[in-house]
Amino acid sequence: MNYEIKGTPLPVVEVQLDQGESMVCEGGAMSWMSNNLTMETKGGGIGKMFGKAFSGESMFSNIYKAEKGPGSIAFASSFPGSIVAVEIGPGKEIICQKSAFLASTPGVELSVFFQKKVGAGFFGGEGFIMQKLSGQGIAFLEFDGSIIEKELGAGEQVVIDTGHLAMIDSTCSIDIVTVKGLKNKLLGGEGFFNTVVTGPGKICLQTMPVSQVAGAITPYLPTSNG
C-alpha cells in the first residue's frame, strides 16, 4: 500500500492498493475510487457498535477491497485542515479527538476512550469522550487547521485551551484544571477550564478548532423572525 496526502486547505489522501489489500472507513468517507474495488459493510459486534455510537461515530464501517488487480481509493477531509498518517502498533497506541478518524488499514482498532478523572468528564467539553486507536496498521486522521507537534518529557506539562488538543500518545495523561481567579474566569475570555497534558509522549495541537469557527460566524448568520 502506498498513499499521498495532497491539497489545501481541504486535503485528500489517495491510497494505492495492491490486489487483495483493503481499507476501512466510516460510511460517507469515500470520495472516489477505481471501479475494481468492492465494498462490504460491517458492524464489528454489539459492544463496538455501542461504543462508536456513544462517541458520535457511525456504528457501521465500510471495507473497500481491491479485486482483480491493484486499485485506488481517496478520502477527503470534511473541514479545512490537515490529514495526518499515523502508524499504530504495540506501544504506539494514540488518543485523538472523537471526530478525527478518517480511514485505516484493517488491523487498526478503534475504541472509546474516557477520561479517568471525573472533572475531565464533566468540564472537559470535547475532551470528555475521545477515541483510542490500537492494533497494527496505518490510520489517517483529520484535524482542524494546521497541526503543531510537541514532544513532552516525563512529567513535562502543557496547558491547552479547550478544543486545541487533537492527539496524544497513550503514554500521556490528561487532566482538567480551572482558570485561577474569578475575574480571570469572567473577564478573561478563555472560559473556566483548561486541559493539562502531562508527558512523556508526543502531542498534536490543532490551530483552528471547528467549535471556535462556529462561534465566530454565528453572529453573522441570518436569524428567523418566525
**pLDDT value at 46 more than 60:** no
Q: Is the peptide bond before 90 cis (omega within 30 degrees of 0)?
A: no
Question: How remote is the C-alpha of 116 from its chain's centroid?
Answer: 19
Name the strands in the sheet holding 157-161, side by side, starting at the edge strand that comes first in the sequence. 157-161, 193-198, 173-178
pLDDT in tens, 59-117: 688 999 999 899 999 999 988 999 999 999 999 999 998 889 999 999 999 888 876 55
Whole-number percent of the chain with pLDDT over 90: 57
Q: In the chain, how long is the greatest CA-to-CA distance?
A: 66
The answer to whether residues 17 and 1 touch, using CB atoms and an 8 Å cutoff, is: yes
Model pLDDT, residue 178: 77
User: What mean pLDDT comes out for the span 184-213?
Assistant: 77
Pick the CATH number of 2-214 from 3.40.640.10, 3.60.160.10, 3.30.1490.20, 3.40.50.11060: 3.60.160.10
Q: Distance between CA atoms of 125 and 179, rounded to whole angstroms?
A: 15
Q: What's residue 167's pLDDT? A: 96
pLDDT of residue 194: 81
Each domain of the chain, given as residue ranges in start order, spans 2-214
